[in-house]
Amino acid sequence: MTDYSEAFKDIPGTVIFDATQSRLGYHLNMFCMALMKEENRLAFKADERAFLKKFPMSAEQCQAVLDRDYNRMISLGGNIYFLAKLGATDGCSFQNLASKMTGSTEDEYREMMIAGGRPAEGNRSKSEWKNHG
């Protein structure tokens, strides 16, 4: 089995969610999953810091949650599909989160996606792997 995660680590702005990232972000992602229950969303909204103490996350992960720094959460093991539950708790759509993560407005992000997404140039792997697969 080929380890593709190493081959793609040089793509600008990309974090590969592999087994290492999964282990790193386990508690962060379990916190996000807890937000699927209304009572947990209410408890989190009432006192975010107290609710976060229920999960053995790193101080850096907790701060990223409090700051709603989704790019940082991803770099600390967060999976976007889990993190979307935090965004939903805040009333944000997935499109809204993606726009924040790209540093654009929601309208700018929507227009970019309608136009075909990010340009491939400058956003590809620079490794020799690109001709394999």
> Could you tell me the residue ranges of all domains in the chain?
14-89, 91-120
Q: What's the pLDDT at 45?
A: 98
Q: With 60 as the cut, is the pLDDT of residue 70 above it?
A: yes
Higher pLDDT, 22 or 49: 49
* 57, 31 contact by CB (below 8 A): yes
Identify the CATH homologous superfamily for domain 14-89: Dioxygenase LigAB, LigA subunit (1.10.700.10)
Average of per-residue pLDDT across 77-81: 93
Instruction: Read off the pLDDT band of 4 (50, 70, 90).
Output: low
Q: Please give the structure tokens belonging to residue 41.
A: 């969303």
Q: What's the pLDDT at 1?
A: 46
d(CA 94, CA 76): 19
Q: What's the pLDDT at 58?
A: 97
Q: What's the pLDDT at 19?
A: 82
Integer CA distances (angstroms), 38 to 44, 45, 85, 107, in order: 10, 11, 12, 30
Higher pLDDT, 119 or 90: 90
Mean pLDDT of the chain: 86
- Give residue-wise pLDDT tens across range 101-132: 888 888 988 898 888 887 766 666 666 555 44
Higher pLDDT, 14 or 22: 22
Task: Of 36-40, 69-73, 93-97, give the lowest mean pLDDT range.
Answer: 93-97
Say whether 80 sits in a helix, a strand or coil: helix
